[in-house]
Structure 1
Amino acid sequence: MAFILVVEIVAISLFASYFLKFYQSYNKARHIGFPLVFSPFHPWGLFWMLGGAFLGPLLLRLPFGLGEFVNHIKSDGYYLTRNALHQKHGPAFIVVSPGCIRIVVGDGAAVEEILTKLHKEFPKSELYQGLKVFGNNLETAEGDDWRRHRKLTVPPFNERNSNIVWRASLTQARGMLKTWVSAGKSGIICTASDMMTVALHVLTSACFGRDYSFQPSESSDSTIIKGEKLSFKVALEAVLDSFLGVVISSAFPKSSGLLAKYVSKKIDTMKFTVAEFKRNLREMVDEERAFLKTTSKEKNNLMSALVRACDLEVTKGDGKRSLTEEELYGNLFIFTFAGHDTTANALMYATALLAANKHVQSWIKEEIHTVIGKNLDSESWEYEKLFPRLKRCLAVMYETTRMYGPVVVLPKSTGSTPSTITIRGKEYTLPAHSDVMLNMVSVHHAPEFWGPDPWSFRPERWIIKNGVAGTEELLQPPYGSYVPWATGARVCPGKKFSQVEFVAVIASLFQRHGVQPVPQPGETIEIASKELSEAIEGSECVLTLKMRHPEKARLAWEADA
Structure 2
Amino acid sequence: MAKLQILGAFVLLCAAYTLANNLYCLTRNIRTARKSGIRYVVVPVNSYNKWFSLLGARLLSLADPLFSPPSPTSWRWLVRGGWPWRIRYAPFAKLGTDTFMTVAPGGSILYTADEDVIRQILGRMKDFPKPIFLYRNVDIFGKNVVTTDGASWRRHRRLVAPALGEKNNRMVWDETVRQMQSLTRKWMKTQKEAITTLRGDAMLLSLNVIGRAGFGQDMGIPDDGKEKKIPEGHSMGFAAALGSLLNNILMVVALPKSILRRGPKPLRVVYESYMEFRQYMCEMLADKQAEIQSSPEASSKSNMDLLGQIIKGQDLHLLEEADDKDPDTTGGLTDSEVLGNLFVLLFAGHETTAGTLHSVLLLLAIHPWYQRRLQAALDSILGSTGSDDPASETSKFHYDTALPKLMCDPFITAVINETLRVMGPIPTIPKYVPADSEPQRLMVDGTEVSVPPGTMIKLCASCVHRNPKYWPHQVLPPPSPTHPLSLHTGNKKEKIDGRGPDPQRHWTSWGPSNPHNDLEGFRPDRWLKTMHSARDGAPAFTSVISPPFGAFIPFSEGPRACLGKRFAQVELVAALAVLFSSYSVELGVEELVPGVEGVDAMGREERRRVWERAAEEANGRWRKHSSMVITLQMRGNCVPVRLVPRGREVFGDGIFSGHSW
TM > 0.5 between the two? yes
Q: CA deviation at 1:132?
A: 1.8
Number of the residue aligned with 2:588: 518
Q: SS where residue 123 of structure 1 aligns?
A: coil
For 2:51 and 2:349, the matched residues in 1 are separated by: 32
Alpha carbons 2:113, 2:461 under 8 Å: kept? yes
For 2:464 and 2:260, the matched residues in 1 are separated by: 43
Q: CA deviation at 1:365?
A: 0.7
Q: 1:494 aligns with which of 544, 564, 579?
A: 564
Amino acid at match of 2:448: E
For 2:23 and 2:345, the matched residues in 1 are separated by: 43
Q: SS where residue 489 of structure 1 aligns?
A: coil
Q: CA deviation at 1:275?
A: 1.5
Number of the residue aligned with 1:447: 468
Q: SS where residue 82 of structure 1 aligns?
A: coil
Alpha carbons 1:356, 1:529 under 8 Å: kept? yes
Q: 1:357 aligns with which of 367, 374, 387?
A: 367
* TM-score, length basis structure 2: 0.78
Instruction: Say if 2:396 is the partner of 1:396.
Output: no
Number of the residue aligned with 2:426: 407
For 2:43 and 2:269, the matched residues in 1 are separated by: 37
Instruction: Say if 2:355 is the partner of 1:345.
Output: yes
Instruction: Say if 2:399 is the partner of 1:383.
Output: yes
Amino acid at match of 1:413: Y
Q: SS where residue 448 of structure 1 aligns?
A: coil
Amino acid at match of 2:524: P
Q: CA deviation at 1:241?
A: 1.4
Q: CA deviation at 1:424?
A: 2.0
Amino acid at match of 2:101: I
Which structure 1 segments of 5+ residues have no match?
A: none
For 2:404 and 2:525, the matched residues in 1 are separated by: 17
Alpha carbons 2:26, 2:105 under 8 Å: kept? yes
Which structure 2 segments of 5+ residues have no match?
A: 474-517, 534-538, 594-608, 648-661
Number of the residue aligned with 1:423: 444
CA spacing shift, 1:35–1:484, aligned 2, 3 Å: same
Amino acid at match of 1:295: S
Number of the residue aligned with 2:190: 183
CA spacing shift, 1:332–1:462, aligned 2, 3 Å: same
Structure 1 range deviating more: 400-409 or 382-391: 382-391
Number of the residue aligned with 2:640: 554
Number of the residue aligned with 2:627: 540
Amino acid at match of 1:475: I
For 1:488 and 1:333, the matched residues in 2 are separated by: 23
Aligned residue pairs, count: 550
Number of the residue aligned with 2:271: 271
Amino acid at match of 1:330: G
For 1:39 and 1:267, the matched residues in 2 are separated by: 37
For 2:141 and 2:66, the matched residues in 1 are separated by: 42
CA spacing shift, 1:508–1:409, aligned 2, 3 Å: same
Structure 1 range deviating more: 389-398 or 142-151: 389-398
Structure 1 range deviating more: 356-365 or 533-542: 533-542
Q: CA deviation at 1:387?
A: 1.8
Amino acid at match of 1:58: A
Q: SS where residue 449 of structure 1 aligns?
A: coil
Number of the residue aligned with 1:461: 526
Q: CA deviation at 1:15?
A: 2.2
Number of the residue aligned with 1:56: 61
Q: CA deviation at 1:117?
A: 1.4
Amino acid at match of 2:167: R
Instruction: Say if 2:24 is the partner of 1:20.
Output: yes
Structure 1 range deviating more: 159-168 or 448-457: 448-457
Number of the residue aligned with 2:606: none
For 2:280 and 2:234, the matched residues in 1 are separated by: 13
Alpha carbons 1:60, 1:68 under 8 Å: kept? no
* TM-score, length basis structure 1: 0.91
Amino acid at match of 1:363: R
CA spacing shift, 1:395–1:518, aligned 2, 3 Å: same
Alpha carbons 2:428, 2:458 under 8 Å: kept? yes
* Deviation sequence 1:465-514 (CA, Å, 0-9, x none): 34459443332222232111111111212111111110110111011111
| 1:99-118 matches, cutoff 5 A | 99-118=106-125
Structure 1 range deviating more: 137-146 or 65-74: 65-74
Q: SS where residue 540 of structure 1 aligns?
A: strand
For 2:575 and 2:398, the matched residues in 1 are separated by: 14
Number of the residue aligned with 1:128: 135
Number of the residue aligned with 1:527: 613
Number of the residue aligned with 2:236: 230
Q: SS where residue 349 of structure 1 aligns?
A: helix
For 1:470 and 1:394, the matched residues in 2 are separated by: 18
Number of the residue aligned with 1:367: 377
Alpha carbons 1:403, 1:455 under 8 Å: kept? yes
For 2:431 and 2:587, the matched residues in 1 are separated by: 40
Which has the larger share of helix?
Answer: 1
| 1:2-401 matches, cutoff 5 A | 2-51=6-55, 52-59=57-64, 62=67, 65=70, 68-89=74-95, 90-215=97-222, 229-249=235-255, 251=256, 253-254=258-259, 265-296=265-296, 297-298=298-299, 299=302, 300-311=304-315, 312-316=318-322, 321-373=331-383, 374=385, 375=387, 376-390=392-406, 391=409, 392-401=411-420
Alpha carbons 1:125, 1:435 under 8 Å: kept? no
CA spacing shift, 1:229–1:324, aligned 2, 3 Å: same
The higher relative CO (CA closer than 8 Å, separation ≥ 6) is in 1
* Deviation sequence 1:230-263 (CA, Å, 0-9, x none): 22222221221122111112x354579xxx7xx6
Q: CA deviation at 1:367?
A: 0.9
For 1:64 and 1:484, the matched residues in 2 are separated by: 30
CA spacing shift, 1:285–1:37, aligned 2, 3 Å: same
Q: SS where residue 162 of structure 2 aligns?
A: coil
Q: SS where residue 630 of structure 2 aligns?
A: coil
Alpha carbons 2:159, 2:310 under 8 Å: kept? yes
Cα RMSD (Å): 2.7
CA spacing shift, 1:465–1:24, aligned 2, 3 Å: same
Amino acid at match of 1:514: S
Amino acid at match of 1:334: V
For 1:385 and 1:334, the matched residues in 2 are separated by: 31
For 1:176 and 1:364, the matched residues in 2 are separated by: 20
Alpha carbons 2:550, 2:557 under 8 Å: kept? no
Alpha carbons 2:107, 2:454 under 8 Å: kept? no
Q: SS where residue 524 of structure 1 aligns?
A: helix
CA spacing shift, 1:278–1:514, aligned 2, 3 Å: same
* Deviation sequence 1:253-287 (CA, Å, 0-9, x none): 4579xxx7xx6555444333222211110011011
CA spacing shift, 1:181–1:255, aligned 2, 3 Å: closer
Structure 1 range deviating more: 511-520 or 369-378: 369-378
For 1:464 and 1:160, the matched residues in 2 are separated by: 33
For 1:43 and 1:266, the matched residues in 2 are separated by: 30
Q: SS where residue 108 of structure 2 aligns?
A: strand
Q: SS where residue 412 of structure 1 aligns?
A: strand
Amino acid at match of 2:450: T
